[in-house]
């Protein structure tokens, strides 16, 4: 089979088959035969859809310069969310799990110290256990050093 250079170049660059068909006005079978003749692997199914929950989450995250992560995806009742595999997942819970390596307990909220709207940076999200620990630490601090008034 004679390999068309324009198809080969696009395949090598990772251009999806459907785009090659549109750009060069060739049939999908022509692109497929070219790919096979070049010994390239078959394309993964639905390359534009994230294949993991983490990838689905990351497509909407925008790290800021000072360590926070802005959410660019959908928000439902004040909670950033992402749909993956037909289910709604709350972005703060995903951020928590990725950062802490465990499932959150209770509601996940943004720490009071973070001022970025809908921040989903791992260190900025807290579950019930962390809030309780912080409260205990504040009380212990106050008991030792006296109440601190800001």
The footprint of Zn ion (CB under 5 A) covers: 68, 114, 116, 119, 121, 124
Return d(Cα 90, Cα 6) in angstroms, integer.
Answer: 44
50 or 70: whose CB is closer to Zn ion? 70
Nearest-5° Cα angle at 107, 103 to 110 = 95
20 or 119: whose CB is closer to Zn ion? 119
Contact 80, 70 (CB under 8 A): no
15 or 114: whose CB is closer to Zn ion? 114
User: Smallest distance from the beta carbon of 74 to Zn ion, in angstroms?
Assistant: 19
94 or 119: whose CB is closer to Zn ion? 119
Nearest 5°: phi and psi at 134?
Answer: -65, -40
Tell me the three state secondary structure of residue 125: strand
**Sign of the Cα pseudo-torsion (46, 76, 101, 111, in order):** positive
Tell me the three state secondary structure of residue 115: coil
User: Smallest distance from the beta carbon of 82 to Zn ion, in angstroms?
Assistant: 18
Return d(Cα 45, Cα 68) in angstroms, integer.
Answer: 33
User: Smallest distance from the beta carbon of 71 to Zn ion, in angstroms?
Assistant: 10
User: Smallest distance from the beta carbon of 70 to Zn ion, in angstroms?
Assistant: 9
């Amino acid at each position: 089979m004679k390999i068309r250079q324009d198809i080969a170049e696009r395949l090598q660059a990772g251009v999806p088959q459907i785009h090659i068909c549109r750009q060069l006005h060739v049939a999908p079978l022509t692109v497929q035969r070219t790919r096979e003749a070049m010994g390239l692997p078959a394309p993964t199914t639905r390359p534009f859809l994230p294949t993991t929950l983490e990838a689905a989450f990351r497509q909407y995250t925008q790290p800021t310069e000072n360590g926070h992560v802005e959410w660019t995806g959908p928000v439902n009742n004040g909670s950033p969310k992402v749909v993956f595999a037909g289910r709604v997942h709350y972005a703060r819970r995903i951020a928590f799990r990725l950062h802490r390596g465990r499932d959150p307990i209770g509601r996940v909220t943004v720490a009071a110290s973070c001022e970025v709207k809908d921040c989903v940076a791992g260190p900025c999200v807290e579950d019930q256990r962390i809030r309780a620990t912080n409260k205990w630490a504040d009380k212990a601090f106050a008991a030792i050093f006296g109440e601190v008034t800001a």
